[in-house]
Chains A and B, each alone.
Chain A
Amino acid sequence: MKRYILTLFNLLAALTLTAQEVNITVDAPERAVTGERFRIVYTVNTTGGQFIPPAFDPSFSVSGPQQSTSRNVQWINGEMSSVSTTTLIYYVVATKPGRYTIPEASFQSKKVTVTAPAREIEIVAGGAAASQSQGQSQGQGISQPAGVQAADAGTDVSLKLHVSTREVYVGQPVSATLKLYTRVNLSGINELKYPDFKGFLREDLETPELRSLETEVIDGVQYGTGVLQRFLLYPQISGEIRIEPVQMTAMVQQRTSIRDPFFDDPFFDDHFFDSFFSGVSTVPRSVSSQPVTIMVKPLPEPRPADFHGAVGSFTLSSDLSKSEVEVNDAIDFTISIKGSGNINLAGEPVIHFPQGIEKYDPEVTVRSSGTASGSKTFKYLLIPRNSGTFEIPPVSYTVFDPQQHKYVTLRSEGYSITVTGSDDQAEVAAPVYIPGEDVKYLGQDIRFIRSGNGNLTLTRQPLVKTTYYWLWFILALFLASVVLLLRREQLRRNADITALRNRKAARNAHRRLAKAKALLGSGMTEQANSELARALWGYLADKLSMPQSQITRENCHAGLRARNVEEGLITEFDSIISVTEYSQYAPRTEGESPAALLERASLLISKLDNVLD
C-alpha cells in the first residue's frame, strides 16, 4: 500500500518536473599533478535521459563514470516541490604534464539536450612521491565497488616516524614520534609492530591513547592525524643507522552497497536508502612507515677517565646531610645530575670516599619529565667507623655536550666531615689478639715523573756506523805490524853482529897471541901473560855470544858444555887460565916457560875453533 502511495508521489513529481528547465554543470580542478587522481563531476538536475560523455585526451587514464541519482521531495504549505539530480563522476589520472582541454559533454533528456562547457586543465609534473601514490582515492563515502576501493586506497592510511634530528652523537637521545595520517575512516588499529631498533636503546614515553584525529592539511590534502607513540632513542653504536619501518594493520571502514534487482530503480538509488540497505564493512590493511636513516657520530677520542656515558647538557650538584656526626652514625651524601640528555644512561660517578668511612651502594633515582630531560640522583649512605676529620674530595664528572661538540667536566663541592666519639666500641667484640694489618693497596696508578734536569743529551751518530771508527782498528793493526817488523829487523841485525864476532874470534885470538909472543920476545913476560889471557877470554866471549862482563869461568864452562865441547879441552882451558893468573902474582915460577904456554894456548884455540864453529 505504501508503495503505491510513493509511486503516486513519483508520478506527481514527474508532472511538475516537466515544467523545470534542465541544466548541466561540470566541476573539474583547474590544475592537477601527474600520476595523481582527480575527479571530474557532471551534475544534471534531472534523472531521466542519456549522458553523452566527453572525449577525453587519450593520455588520460579514465575510470567511471560513476552514476548516482538523488531526489528530494518537499511539501511546503501543501505545495510539493521536488528536486532530482544525477551525478556522474569520472576519475582521471593524467600521465603527462601540459595544458589539456576537457571537451564538452551533453545530456539528452526526452525533450532537450543540454551541453556542459569545455574546461581547461593544467597538468603539472609531480615528484616521485606523486607517481608512487598513484591510485589514491578521494573516498569520501561515495559508494563504489568494494574491490576498487581496496586497491585504490593504498596510501589513504600512512604511518610516519618523525625524528627530532638526523645527526647525533652516540648516546645523544633522539626523540621520535610515530604519527598516523589517514584520509579514510578507521575503526581501529591492530598489531602495531615496532622494528627491533638495532643500534638504539628505546625508551617509550607516556603517550595519551589515540581517541580522536586532528585535522591537518598537507600539500593541500586534508588528513586526519594522530600521534600513536612517542619514544626516545639512544644510539649505542656509531655509523649510519637505519630504522626499519614500523608496521601496523589499520581497520579501514568502507561501504558496500547491496544491489537487489527489486530495488534496481533510480528511486531507490539514493543516499537515504543506501544508509538503510548498504552495509559498512571493515577491511584490514597493513601499513608501514618509511625507513629512517640516522647518522650517528662517534664520541671523540680519547675519552676522559671520568666520562661515564652521559651525553647532553647537565649540571652537577651535591649535598651532604650532616657534616658533624658521631662514630657509626649514618650520613647521606647525594650527587645529582640534572639536565637534558641520556640521563637514564648516565653512569655512576667515581667518588673517592676517605678510608674509615664505610660506603654502601648508592640508591639511584631517575626523574624524567617525559622528554629527554630530567635528573638522576645517587644517594650514598655513609657510616664513619673512625673518629677524626675526613675530606670528601670534589667529584668530577665529565659529560659530552653535543652542542659544544666537546667533553665538559662538571665538579661538585668538596666536603669535610668531622666525626666525634671513640671508635673503640667496635674493638670490644674483636678478638684479643690483633695481628698486624696488611697494608691496604687502594689502586694501581703510574708513578710520578722524575724531577731534575733530565740529563738531556743529543743523539750522536753511532760509532759502529762510521768509517773512521773502523779505520782506528786498521790503524792500530798497522802500527802493531810496523812495531813488530822493526823489532824483527833489530833482532836480525843483532844476530848478524854475533855471527861476525864468531867468524873473527879465531883471528882476533891469534893476533893477540902474536902480540903476546912479541912482548915475550922483548922480555915483558907479565904483559905477555895478560895478553894471552885476554886472547882466550875474548875468543870465548865471541864464540859463545856473550858480553865481556858476563865472562866468568862458570859461564864459560856452561857455554862450552852446552856446545858439547870435550872435557879435556875445558880442563886445558882452565889450566892455561890458571897459569896466566898465577904468573900475574908470582912472576918467577918454575916449570913451564911462557913460550910453551903460548904454544898450548894457540893449539887450544885451534882445537876449539874446530869444535865450536
Chain B
Amino acid sequence: MRRAIAIIIILICSLPGVTAQSAGERYSQAGELYSSGDYSGAAAIYRQLYEEGYRSEDLLYNAGNAFFRSGDNASAILFYERAKLMAPADEDIDYNLQIARSRVTDRFETVPRLFFSRWFDFLSLLTSTNSWAMAALVMFVVSLLLALIFLTKSRARGRLLSFWLALTALILSAVMISLAMRNNSLINNNKRAVITCSIVTGRSAPGENGSELFVLHSGTTVTVEQELGKFYEVKLPDGNKGWVRGDCMEKI
C-alpha cells in the first residue's frame, strides 16, 4: 500500500517533468533537426506545436520549410498559407510559397479577386483579431464621449466639431469590428483547403457514384463551399465546382 502511494507520488511528481520540455525548447530542437538535415523530424515537431495551439509566423514558416524539404509539398503549401495569414506582407513566405506552388501538378487560370476585397483582407490580417476588437471598443468609447460633448455643450462652435468627430469615430469602430470578424474568419474558419492526397477525383455528387468531373493532385488549393458527411463541395481556382472526399484535404 505504502509502495503504491510512493509510486503514485513519483508519477505525479514526474508528470510535469515529462511535459516540462517547453514549447520554446521543442521549437529550437526542431530548428536544430532542420539544420542537421532531419527534415521530417523537424516537421513532426512543428506540426505538433501547431496542433497544441501554438502560433507564430516563424513557427508556421519553418514548418512549411521542413515539410517542403521532407518532400511533403502539400503540407508545405498548407503551412505557408497559414503563415501568410499571420504575416501577409512577409516576403520570405511569399517567395517560398511560390516555389512550393511551382511544384504542384494542377495549374489553373485563376480568376482575380476584386481589389478592395483583397485590400480589406490584407488590412484585416495586419494585426490579430483581438487587437482589432480592442481598437474597435476603444474607438466606440471615444465616439460616445464625443457624442456626450455634442449633446451637452451649449456653445455652437464646439458642438458641430464634436458631432462630426463622434460620427467618424463611430464609423471607424464599425469598420474595425468588421476587420476583426474578417480576421477571425480568415484565420480560425478559413474556407480554403489544400489537397493532401496525391490524386483525388472530383465528382458531380457526394459519394462515389457521381460522374467524374475532374482530377486534382496534391498541393492544389481549393475553396470549400459546403460539407455533406465525408464529402466536401469544393470550388477550384478557375471557378469550377465538384464534390471531393473530405479526408483528402486539410483546411488552411
- B111-119, B133-141, B224-232: which lies at the A interface? B133-141
Q: Does B190 contact A (CB under 8 A)?
A: no
Tell whether, in the assembled complex, residue B148 and residue A483 are in contact, meaning their CB atoms are under 8 Å apart: yes
Nearest CB of chain B from residue A481's CB, rounded to whole Å: 9
Contact bitstring B33-57, A, C-beta under 8 A = 1, else 0: 0100000000000000100011110
Tell whether, in the assembled complex, residue A463 and residue B133 are in contact, meaning their CB atoms are under 8 Å apart: yes
**A150 CA to B54 CA in the complex, in Å?**
82
- Pick the contact of B71: A304, A477, A480 (CB < 8 A): A304
Chain A minimum-CB-distance residue to B92 = A447
Q: Does A456 contact B (CB under 8 A)?
A: yes
Contacts of B151 in A (CB 8 A): 484, 487
Contacts of A484 in B (CB 8 A): 148, 151-152
Q: Does B16 contact A (CB under 8 A)?
A: no
Which residues 136-186 of B sit at the A interface, judged by CB distance below 8 A?
137, 140-141, 144-145, 147-148, 151-152, 177, 180-181, 184
Contact bitstring B225-247, A, C-beta under 8 A = 1, else 0: 00000000000000000000000
Nearest CB of chain B from residue A216's CB, rounded to whole Å: 47
Tell whether, in the assembled complex, residue A487 and residue B53 are in contact, meaning their CB atoms are under 8 Å apart: no
Chain A minimum-CB-distance residue to B68 = A446
Which residues 470-484 of A sit at the B interface, judged by CB distance below 8 A?
472-473, 476-477, 479-480, 483-484
Tell whether, in the assembled complex, residue A457 and residue B54 are in contact, meaning their CB atoms are under 8 Å apart: yes
- Pick the contact of A455: B58, B102, B140, B145 (CB < 8 A): B58
Tell whether, in the assembled complex, residue B53 and residue A449 are in contact, meaning their CB atoms are under 8 Å apart: no
Contacts of A444 in B (CB 8 A): 99, 102
Report whether over half of chain B's contact residues are helix, strand or loop; otherwise say mixed.
helix
Contacts of A465 in B (CB 8 A): 184
Nearest CB of chain A from residue B35's CB, rounded to whole Å: 8
Tell whether, in the assembled complex, residue B144 and residue A454 are in contact, meaning their CB atoms are under 8 Å apart: no
Q: Does B195 contact A (CB under 8 A)?
A: no
**A453 CA to B31 CA in the complex, in Å?**
10
Contacts of B133 in A (CB 8 A): 462-464, 469
Contact bitstring A430-450, B, C-beta under 8 A = 1, else 0: 000000000000001111111
Q: Does A403 contact B (CB under 8 A)?
A: no
Q: Does B204 contact A (CB under 8 A)?
A: no
Tell whether, in the assembled complex, residue B58 and residue A450 are in contact, meaning their CB atoms are under 8 Å apart: yes
**A464 CA to B128 CA in the complex, in Å?**
12
Tell whether, in the assembled complex, residue B140 and residue A473 are in contact, meaning their CB atoms are under 8 Å apart: yes
Tell whether, in the assembled complex, residue B181 and residue A464 are in contact, meaning their CB atoms are under 8 Å apart: yes
**A301 CA to B40 CA in the complex, in Å?**
13
Tell whether, in the assembled complex, residue B144 and residue A480 are in contact, meaning their CB atoms are under 8 Å apart: yes
Contacts of B23 in A (CB 8 A): 456
- Pick the contact of A449: B62, B184, B188 (CB < 8 A): B62
Contacts of B34 in A (CB 8 A): 449
Q: Does A303 contact B (CB under 8 A)?
A: yes
Q: Does A458 contact B (CB under 8 A)?
A: yes
Tell whether, in the assembled complex, residue A459 and residue B55 are in contact, meaning their CB atoms are under 8 Å apart: yes
Nearest CB of chain A from residue B30's CB, rounded to whole Å: 9
Tell whether, in the assembled complex, residue A462 and residue B71 are in contact, meaning their CB atoms are under 8 Å apart: no
Chain A minimum-CB-distance residue to B91 = A447
A457-B54, A473-B137 given; 13 more Cβ-contact pairs under 8 Å: A447-B65, A447-B96, A450-B62, A454-B27, A455-B58, A458-B53, A460-B130, A462-B180, A462-B188, A464-B184, A480-B147, A487-B151, A488-B152
Mind listing 5 A-B residue pairs with CB under 8 Å? A451-B31, A454-B27, A462-B130, A476-B144, A480-B145
Residues of B that sit less than 8 Å from A by CB: 23-24, 27-28, 31, 34, 49, 53-56, 58-59, 61-62, 65-66, 68-72, 92, 95-96, 99-100, 102, 129-130, 133-134, 137, 140-141, 144-145, 147-148, 151-152, 177, 180-181, 184, 188, 198
